[in-house]
Homo-oligomer: A and B are copies of this chain.
Amino acid sequence: MAYASFKPISLPPSTNTFNPIPRSQTLLRCCNHTKTLKITSEPKPVFDSLRTFAPATVANLGPGFDFLGCAVDGIGDYVTLSIDSNVQPGEIQISSINGCSKLSKNPLWNCAGIAAISVMKMLGIKSVGLSLSLEKGLPLGSGLGSSAASAAAAAVAVNEIFGGKLDFSDLVLAGLDSEAKISGYHADNIAPAIMGGFVLVQNYNPLNVVKLPFPSDKDLFFVLVNPEFEAPTKKMRAVLPAHITLEDHTWNSSQAGALVAGILQGDLEMLGLALSSDKIVEPNRAPLIPGMVAVKKAAIEAGAFGCTISGAGPTAVAITDNAESGVEIGVKMVEAFMKQGNLKASAVVSSLDRVGARVVSSIAR
């Protein structure tokens, strides 16, 4: 059978007791108030060690290009962070990276390291050294926010080990420091990786990211189909048009509005129609991913509400309202990648991650 999963991860329950981050379903807005952030004295560590998880994220979502993303449950990256007396106070070392041989262990060149350092600076950590271990659950360059997941897990880990003084917006800014160096100054992966659910980036200056609560009584499943194919973000950005017609702009804007309405109302039909409707980005990127056009068609024919490219690709994302349909849709999409694109692909069916980056275990001091 063509259907296979990435790396199935047995996740801890989302409602663990360690995470002080609010999980309200009401509207949540983060503004950039780090300028007024007053950490009057260096916080003391609350834990000797802790382990965090941050989920994969789907950015763009068709007409939500560069400003909308969401977190998906069950796949993501882990960070284990420890107070380490062998590390120079105020510094951090990356002790190990599992699941990926390509990443640098120099914290200045590692997405988890950069985010961790930013949070340490925000907190003013000078007296304690940290040791970080990264477990990659997400493939690099897949369009699933791999770098953002590492950065989110690291940012939350550092914040929580010192008692959780910072809020979402600070952590998103720390994550943005990392994203800017690794994959571009975009918050549509890092914000949902940290905050969970759907997040709309309304502004960068000042940062204004808004969580869009998907109704808690409705189900939403993502079929994520990842072909064995490299689609470097730079190459996928290079094919975007510099200018677009007012007509296409108006169309895509209306679909962006419908996308947000579909999310907030839990209306998968509207959400799916909007997701599939992008006339600006997807039509330019899809031809660079062999089989993508056929994969989208196969997803819709198999009953998906909508389908598009996840992030900058090559992963294709389709949505549905139950896990069984998701598996069937995934099989058809994997088949289409093979038949029309001559690409092997693997699929996972994930529900919406409503929580975001979180502590999954800890050892108190």
**Interface residues, chain A, CB within 8 Å of chain B?**
27, 29, 63-68, 200-203, 208, 210, 212, 240-246, 249-250, 252-261, 264-265, 267, 270, 273-274, 280
Prevailing SS type, chain A contact patch: mixed
13 A-B residue pairings within 8 Å (CB atoms): A27-B265, A67-B257, A200-B254, A202-B257, A202-B258, A210-B258, A210-B261, A243-B244, A249-B280, A256-B256, A256-B257, A257-B257, A258-B260
Q: How many subunits of this chain does the assembly comprise?
A: 2
Query: Told that A243-B246, A252-B253 touch, could you supply 7 new A-B pairs with CB distance under 8 A?
Result: A67-B250, A200-B257, A200-B258, A202-B257, A202-B273, A249-B252, A257-B257
Across the interface, A245 reaches (CB within 8 A) one of B212, B243, B254, B274, namely B243
**Interchain nearest-CB distance for A20 vs B (Å):** 24
Closest 10 CB pairs of A and B: A67-B254, A257-B260, A253-B256, A243-B243, A260-B260, A202-B258, A264-B264, A256-B257, A66-B250, A249-B249
Across the interface, A202 reaches (CB within 8 A) one of B241, B249, B270, namely B270
Instruction: Find the residue from A212, A253, A265 having the highest chain B CB count within 10 A.
Output: A253
Judging by beta carbons under 8 Å apart, are A254 and B27 in contact?
no
A64 (CB) vs chain B CBs: closest residue: B257
Judging by beta carbons under 8 Å apart, are A242 and B242 in contact?
no
Judging by beta carbons under 8 Å apart, are A212 and B261 in contact?
yes
Judging by beta carbons under 8 Å apart, are A210 and B270 in contact?
yes
Judging by beta carbons under 8 Å apart, are B253 and A246 in contact?
no
CB-CB under 8 A from A212, the residues of chain B are: 261
